[in-house]
Amino acid sequence: MEKIQANMDILFNPNSIAVIGASNSPDKLGFHVMNSLTKGGYRGEIIPVNPNSEKVMGYNAFKSISDIKKEIDVAIVVLPANRVPDVFRECADKPVKGVVLITAGFKEIDDPVGVALHEEVALLANRAGIPVVGPNTFGMANFQVDLNASFTPEYSFLKKGDISLVSQSGGISALLGYLGMRMDLGFSKIVGLGNRLNVDFAHMIEYLMNDPDTKVIILYIEGIDEPRGLIEVARKYRGKKPIIAFKSGSARIGDQASMSHTGSIAGRHEIYYGSFRQTGILGTDSMESLLDTAKALAACPFPEGPNIAILSGQAGLGMVACDLCDADGLKIVPFNESTQKKINEILPPLALRTNPVDMGPAWYNSAAIKKIVRTVMGDTNINGIIFQMMFASANRDVVLVLTELLSSYRQQKPVISCILSPPGIWDEQVRSLEQSRSLVNYPTPDRAARAMANLRKYGAMQSG
């Protein structure tokens, strides 16, 4: 297995790729894989393999991988399952350094033939030291090198960033990827493990922990045949980079679905989440929270304690955030005396001037809001700030006025916000603040509060 781990970097950074099963026909997956590579901007050499075509999408095609005289780093295989063992023998002889096996029809099917094929191909790959993503996978992508080794060209539209997703499900990979697009979230890599021939969660964590382009790791888990490998590697790298996980299959019917989907038993839900806590993996309870937490962990420092200030331009936002903070272990504590005195001087007595602060009487006075935020930033009793503001015509300039303060503060303590306006008003200003990592913004107060809570939970988990 050492050779497999050693070849992982070539798998994600190949200089040449052979598409075995490449096609000019849009009703074949090989056509869409070629589309993904070419439209995604992959800069290495693309070599189609198709015995019935001289050219595929303008590229010279070869009858087999054995006919290619050049070195091949990675092969993407989109052939029927019964033809895969022979292809793997050719890949081993070449030798190919990595394989993305998109083909289905292995141990996930209710047929001994599929299991036998899986075991035969695994033996061939392991003997040759070839890491294999799949089978039964959508593929994978390394956005840092414009590599889209999947059958979905639209993955190439994702923004480059430092979050890497490892998923057993192609559908969940698509869901999280498309949600990420809407959230303007940047990804480093997305990997569909599929049936995990010889590359499992443990191998991916080992690789990503040493990948300079990955800062946060997201896992979507259905079931693992040997969870000990995941637990051991997570414990080995505990605290080096955040790992966030969502585990499905808690219901009995979900367990059965996992077996037919990825060929593995889902297992006891509570045991997985207990193991996560013991090894420093932060478990989440929803897809939304998985991405929201990754976004915060990629951009924010950990709060040094549970004490949070909530500053809201409208009182209702503060109430919602308070409820979530209280439920998730954060504390809305009094300000220190000097902070409170300054806020009292800025806001009239009719406002709620203690924490949480209702800035409603000053929501149209951007200079006053800036003073309040600056004052709370300096409060030694506060470990993190949740700032919330809804647009109204009279407060149009508030985000612009706060930009210099937030940019110079550079999140000495985490600043998580819920700033929302009609499309086209504050969007670019908020995006600029997020890109400079001056804050992290969410569309609702509950999501902002939950992100802060998970930021605190992860930080406390590592130091505890």
Beta strands 16-20 and 216-221, pairing class: unpaired
* Residue 258 scores a pLDDT above 50: no
What is the domain count for the chain?
Answer: 3
Q: For residues 54 and 131, state if they share a domain.
A: yes
In a domain, residue 148? The reply is no
pLDDT(110) > 80: no
pLDDT score of 210 more than 80: yes
Same domain, residue pair 340 and 442: yes
Domain span at residue 133? Answer: 1-139
Whether residue 146 lies inside any domain: the answer is no
**Residues 12, 96: one domain?**
yes
The pLDDT tens digits for 345-404 are 999 887 788 999 999 888 789 999 999 999 999 999 999 999 999 999 889 999 999 999
Same structural domain for residues 271 and 339?
A: no
- How far, in Å, are 194, 418, 434, 445 from residue 442 at the CA level? 31, 5, 11, 7
Give the lowest-confidence range in 60-69, 108-117, 178-187, 448-457: 108-117
Residue 1 has pLDDT above 90, yes or no: no
Task: Judge whether 378 and 339 are in contact, CB under 8 Å.
Answer: yes
pLDDT of residue 464: 61
Cα 21 to Cα 43, 53, 79, distances in angstroms: 21, 10, 6
Q: How far apart are CA 329 and CA 307, in angstroms?
A: 10
* pLDDT-above-90 percentage for the chain: 83
Per-position b or e across 58-96, b if 16+ CB within 10 A of its CB: ebebbeebeebeeebbbbbbbbebeebeebbebbbebeb
Domain holding 361: CATH number? 3.40.50.261
Query: Are 125 and 170 part of one and the same domain?
Result: no
pTM to 2 decimals? 0.92
Q: What is the pLDDT of residues 175-184, one digit of tens each?
A: 999 999 999 9
Q: Do residues 371 and 389 both lie within one domain?
A: yes
Q: Is residue 273 part of a domain?
A: yes
Is 105 in a helix, a strand, or coil? coil
pLDDT at residue number 434: 97
Query: Same domain for 133 and 38?
Result: yes
Within 8 A by CB and 6+ apart from 154, the residues are: none
